[in-house]
Structure formats: C-alpha cells, structure tokens
Structure 1
C-alpha cells in the first residue's frame, strides 16, 4: 500500500511538474541588434520608411531599426556629438553640401565597392557631391533643383505658345513679354544680379568651369574663354529681359512674380507652391519648364541629400544594406510620387507635374568644386560680387573674372 501510495504521489508530482513546465512560455526571441538611423526632418514620408523597415525586418528578423529625426539647424553639432558618443548612428542623412567635409576627415565609410541600384543613372550633381578623391562616401538620396516658373496669364497676353526649349527661344519670348508690359520695373524674367545659382549655369552651358584642380593645387577657371563666353551670354540676356536690382539675390522673386512685376522667375519647384499660397488667385496660372540652354536644358545646380555610413558606427554592412533598399527603384519611386526628386534619371515614370519637370532639368546637373575649402569662397561672396560688378557695369567680364579667379585660387589653396 505504501509503495503503491508512494508511486501514486510520485506520478502525481511528476505530472504537476510537467504541467508547470508546459504552462511557462519560452522567452520570446526578439531583435538582438539595433540599427541606428538618423534622417532629417521632412525627408522621406513616414509611410515610406515604415514600409522599408518592415521589409528590412523580414530580411533581418534579428535587427531592430531605431529611427531618429533631426532638425536641419544645428545638425553639425548633433552629428559630431553622435559620432563621438557610445551609441553612434549607423546610417545618416546629410545635405549634399555636408558630405565632403566629413569624408575628407575620415569620418565616413568608403562605399565604392558596394552595389547600389541605378548607380549608372544617378543624378550627376548628387553623385559628385557624395564623392571624394574618386571614391563614394554618400549615396544619392533625393534632389532639388531650379526651374523656370511662369505666369500663364501674362504668357497668353503676350501671344506666346509652348514653353521654349533653347535660350534663343526663351530670349525671343522674353522680349515679347517686355514689349507687352511697359512698366519700368517689369521683368520678363526676374534675374537679380547676385543670383549665383542661376547665373553659373550659363558658364557650365558654354563648356566652362568654376575652378579646377591639378597636382593638388586649385585654380579659378572663370577667366577661361568658355567660361567668359557663358558670362557674356548671361550678361546680354539679363540686360534685355530683367529689371531686377543688381545688388539683390533671389529672395524677393516670389513677390515679383505674384505682384505681376515679373512673368517668370527661376527657383526651386516648391516655390511655385509658395507663390500660389501667398497669391491664391494665381494657383491655376502657374506653369514650369526647365531653364533652356544653347541646346536643350541648361545644367542646373543640384541640392538635396545623400546617405552615409559613419566610420564610428557598429553595423556597417547592415547600414549599407538599409541604404541599398531606400535608394533603390522601389522606394525612390515612392519618394518621387511624394514630390521629392528621385536620385536617378531612369525613374521618370514615377514622377509627374512639377517633380517631373525638376527631374528632367536634373538630367544635366552640377555641384560646386569638390574642395574642402569651397565654403570659404562662398562666405567671401566671391561669385556674387563678380556677378554684381558685371551686372551694374562696374567691371567688364574680363576684369571681373580675372579678379574672381585670383580670389578663388587664394582661398582654395590657403592652409588649414
């Protein structure tokens, strides 16, 4: 009896033990790696990043993507602190003007050997901005460029038809607009004298350059024959079609177009929305087209963003894979549909309206000379001062470009 009884107690105890074990769930196997991603405010729409992260998690179930969104003001201090911290970012979005300084300082990983979709058709301005000494450090993400924004009502009043495709046609149309509007402050195309990002394309369109490097030394190239030809074309054009002030930049062009003091301006595509918001009656009267050059669209300065992998990060391979997804056709197409200019000329089927015009214009794009000291030239207003002196007649093209090249060479070759 005792043995049977003892056996029964033992069996019951084992049964209870087994039941207890079955009732205790195994610890869930969650992500074991965190990929830290820093993007900038008003970059990719939330739904795009959410969809991408879901796909990335499917490919890498053990990886959690932690996204932080930064403001543009103060970004440099935040980036510096983040890279020096205990949990540095693995992926960062940088403005394309920011990449060079970090790449030259050895703070970004070389991505040249990575395979990225559509790299053969990347926008030139974004690719160049992400490169340093022939190596890729910033993958093109999205762009933004300037187009001609015009008033259809003034266009029609002057008897004009389809938008022009060459500079000669644009000038002919502009002269008709000037004849149809006799106000002394009216500009067919509002083109202020210090507007460097609209004037320098004339230099590039003529085959010229801003500055060149040889054997480690920089030299200004604005005094070359081709660059001077481009500046002569610019000076002749603005003298005939613009009454904008010589000592101003583009900051007042929204009001110039909205108030009727101009029929056209050159600005970023989003500016059309700014004009329509401030002058609601013009919403349906605004059109856009690429700034035409001697033959086809004029080269445009390309702003935008690149994606980089900081050397301080802990997961370089995963970072490159995440970037590869976001910059590939699927998600770049979604960016294009949201109104951002995608990173490749091969993605035209994904864009429409103003974005389509911007992408067409970006097919011929450029970026500032790839010198770590180019900001010194910008801060000294070398280009703006040169343009203003030509615009108001204080200097000839020859005189102004000679002086500008001397300053450019001095600033770019300065130590430090």
Structure 2
C-alpha cells in the first residue's frame, strides 16, 4: 500500500515531568526538565481520522495546552485511516521512522506489545488509571506490564426501526428477552414479506464479532491458555459449538438478503434503507443509517438504540471495542511523547469524548452515560464485554480470517462440528507464535 502523506500540523507541544520507562516495562528514573519552556525537539503523533471527524476540538484543546506550556517543541500530527494504518506503521517501524505516539485499535495492540515495538509505561502517571475499564486496560497489558493507555471504548448494541416494530407488533419497544424478540421478529418478517430482501434481523453470516458474542453467551470461547503455557483453540468445545449453532440458526432464519457471505461492513445502510428491522451494531452506526446516501435522514425519529437480548434471558455479551494510545519503543523523545498521551487521555480530555456520547476510558466518567438514552445500552454493556485472546499470535489468526472462513464454510454446508474442529487446528498453528 502507498504510504499516506503526513499532513503535519506544526504546533508547539509538550514536555513534562513524567516517569520514564524502559522498553521492557520497568520504570526508569523520572525525566525532569527544570524549565519546560526551554525544552526542544519534535514529537510525531499518528491519530486515526475518527479524531479529525468527530472531536477536532479535543485535538485543538490539547495542542493549545501544549503550545502554551512548551513553546519550543514541535508537534507533527497526522491522521490515518483504519484500512491503511497498520501497513503504514509496519513500514515506518521497519524503516526506523516510526511515530513517537500512535493510536492503535484494541485488537491491534498485541502484535506490537509482543514484538517489542512499544515502550513500557508507568500506569500511575495517567489520570483515572485505577479506574480504567478493565476490558480496555487489558488490551494494553502484556506479561503484567503496561504498553499503552486506554483512549475510548465501544460496545455493540441493538439498533432497530421502532416504527416497524410498532406496526408489526403493536409496540415500539424492542423486547428484552430473546424468546420475546424472536416472536416479535416473526411478526415483523410477516408484515414486511412483500419487501424484497427484507430481513427482520439482519445478521450477516461472516459477522464473527456477533458469532463470538453468542459463543460467549453460552460460556464458550475462541481459545484458552492452558497449564502447559500455551494457547489452544476451544471453538470445538461443546459450549462454544452451542453458541455458534445458535448464531447460525438466527442467521438462517432471519437474514433474507440472499447472500449470507456478505459481512457487516454495510449493515447500517441495510437498516437505513429499510431493508432490515434490527441490526447488531456499534452505536455510531446509527449515524450512518440516518445519513444521506448511506441511509435515510427521515428515519431519525424511528431508529433506536437498545441493549441486544441474548440467550437464556440475559443481554448478549458484547465485544469491547475501542482505541489505545502507545509510545513507540525507539522514540527519541519518550518523556515528551508520554506526556502528550497523558494530556490527551486526561480527565478533561475524556470528558470531551463523554459529552459527544463516546465512551470514555474510565468507570467514573462512564457512569452518567449509563442513564443517557443515546449511550445507555453501550455504556452498560462495556463493563462485562468480552475480548479476543491476549495471545502472541492472535494477529495472525485475524489476518488469515480463520473465524470468517469458518463461518463461510458453515453457510456453504459444512457442519458446525467439522468447521470448528478445522478452525481450532488453524488457531493452534498460529496463536502461540508472535505475528
């Protein structure tokens, strides 16, 4: 892939008294500058373009803060896309041109923690570190050492068309149990059977995040760490198979799109163009469903976010999504870079995210969002959310699409028993080797 041209924002920034750490995660002596206004140097920061689109005022707030405090330090900040960032980062690391600070999706951190690309950090140097959302903090921790700082969290929820449910069932509320939900979905499917390709529940076949939520609901897992010190696949275990079969049954019953191999990337558009009554999605996908082109603005008052009902009368466990901020191991400006991360994830900064209905990195600031209609479902789901195995080779498992290929094979006719056995064999080959 072509490397993205950095749109550098030259602004003064950062240096502060922080606890430095060596790359093995052990705390080093504090780095102190008697007069921060005389500090010099350049710090490069890579953020995802979400920050540019969704909270540019936060970026500006932090930049202004640094500019006032450390006027002789240059900050070069650039925005990157999820599709290209990993290739760009790998190329930069190989060329010894890695940024000082990089934003990583929480499924991306393991690879870089294991291969030594990230600097160890002192947890006590960051706001709310004793109250970070555990599932997010775990994505920054390897061998009990911290290598990044939680930035924001996310969880999947039900997004549904309340008008459709009202018309079909007599109630605009989504049922709170799965048994009641499937009864309602049957009525929605019947009401809109004249709409070609309409899915009462649009659940894509290769949607492994959803599939693993059902696996988790039954007490199963993707992989486990055993007493011999190795990870091994556990999708063939009875509980995992039970959850996977439950997911498969829902897909086959309610997905009427005509192609069960299409993934969830454009599911918001399916809902937004009134080809679905309900999707299991990130909360932000509601915005796509009511946006011009990707959706229908007129549906603004009809589409609602709720907790997704799961098996056994409980909410469906959600994958914990989100982002982390890391300092790269070979930075020449560790104290500067660490201080930038500290300020960007401060209580003040996290409040900007919370005010925009984005889940902050800590339980204290998360609490008010549990009672806010726009955020309640995700905020309540995030504390008990599941995450991918914290194994050295998990990146390779994802890169080789082991779970997606397993699901595709099932919808092509392979049995769950055979498909999970094959998937576990592939996982066993990959998961213990640093990717």
Aligned to 2:289: 275
**In structure 2, C-alpha distance between the alignment counterparts of 1:384 and 1:153, rounded to whole Å:** 33
Q: In 2 relative to 1, CA 52–258 (structure 1 residues): closer, same or farther, beyond 3 Å?
A: closer
Q: Quote the Cα distance in structure 2 between the aligned partners of 1:65 and 1:164.
A: 54
1:372 match: 392
Change over 3 Å in CA distance of 1:192–1:82 after alignment to 2: closer
Deviation at 1:369, TM superposition (A): 1.8
Aligned to 2:326: 308
1:242 is aligned to 2:262 = no
Q: Secondary structure at the match of 1:284?
A: coil
Q: Gaps (5+ residues) in structure 2?
A: 1-35
CA distance in 2, matches of 1:381, 1:322: 35
Q: Does 1:64 align with 2:73?
A: yes
**Please, which moves more after superposition, 61-70 or 404-413?**
61-70
Task: For residue 220 of structure 1, report the CA deviation from its aligned partner.
Answer: 0.7
Q: 2:306 is matched with which residue?
A: 289
Question: TM-score, structure 1 length as denominator?
Answer: 0.81
1:126 is matched with which residue? 136
* Corresponding position of 2:272: 258
Equivalent position of 1:172 in the other structure: 183
Classify 1:120/1:176 alpha carbon distance in 2 versus 1 (closer, same or farther; 3 Å): farther
Helix, strand or coil for the counterpart of 2:304?
strand
Higher share in helix: 1
Q: Structure 2 CA distance, aligned partners of 1:143 and 1:347?
A: 12
Tell me which structure has the larger Cα radius of gyration.
1
Partner of 1:43, secondary structure, is helix
> CA 1:182–1:135 in structure 2 vs 1: closer, same or farther (change >3 Å)?
same
Distance in 2 separating the partners of 1:310 and 1:104 = 13
The 2-side partners of 1:157 and 1:414 are apart by: 53
| Conservation of the 8 A alpha-carbon contact between 2:165 and 2:174 | no
Q: State how many pairs are aligned.
A: 387
Superposed, 1:119-198 pairs within 5 Å as: 119-158=129-168, 159-183=170-194, 185-198=197-210
Cα deviation, residue 56, structure 1: 5.0
Q: Deviation digits for residues 278-315 of structure 1, max 9, x if unmatched?
A: 32222221111122224543222233221112222234
Offset at residue 36 of structure 1 (A)? 1.3
Q: CA deviation at 1:213?
A: 2.6
Residue 404 (structure 2) aligned to one of 384, 387, 393 = 384
Deviation per residue, 1:22-70 (Å, 9 max, x gap): xxxxxxx954234614131232633223333444566x55763614123
Cα offset, 1:145, TM superposition: 3.4
Q: Which residue of 2 aligns with 1:32?
A: 39
Deviates more, 1:62-71 or 1:398-407: 62-71
Structure 2 residue 337 is the aligned partner of structure 1 residue 330: no
Q: Secondary structure at the match of 2:153?
A: strand
Q: Kindly provide the CA deviation profile for residues 141-182 of structure 1, in whole angstroms up to 9, marking residues without a partner as x.
A: 013333221112101102124333333332232223223333
CA distance in 2, matches of 1:202, 1:405: 17
2-side partners of 1:247 and 1:74: how far apart?
Answer: 24
Asked whether the 8 Å contact 1:149–1:289 carries over to 2, the reply is yes
Whole-Å separation in 1 of the counterparts to 2:70 and 2:429: 54
1:358 aligns with 2:404: no
Shift of 1:217: 2.5
Residue of structure 1 in register with 2:245 after alignment: 232
User: Aligned partners of 1:265, 1:78: CA distance in 2, in Å?
Assistant: 33
Contact 1:152 1:287 in 2 (8 A): yes
How far, CA to CA, are the matches of 2:256 and 2:87 in structure 1?
42
Q: Which residue of 1 aligns with 2:116?
A: 106
Gaps of 5+ in 1: 1-28
The Cα shift of 1:346 comes to 2.9
Question: Per the alignment, in what secondary structure is the counterpart of residue 45 of structure 2?
Answer: strand
Contact in 2 for aligned 1:124/1:365 (Cα 8 Å): no
Q: For 2:423, which of 383, 388, 404 is the aligned residue? A: 404
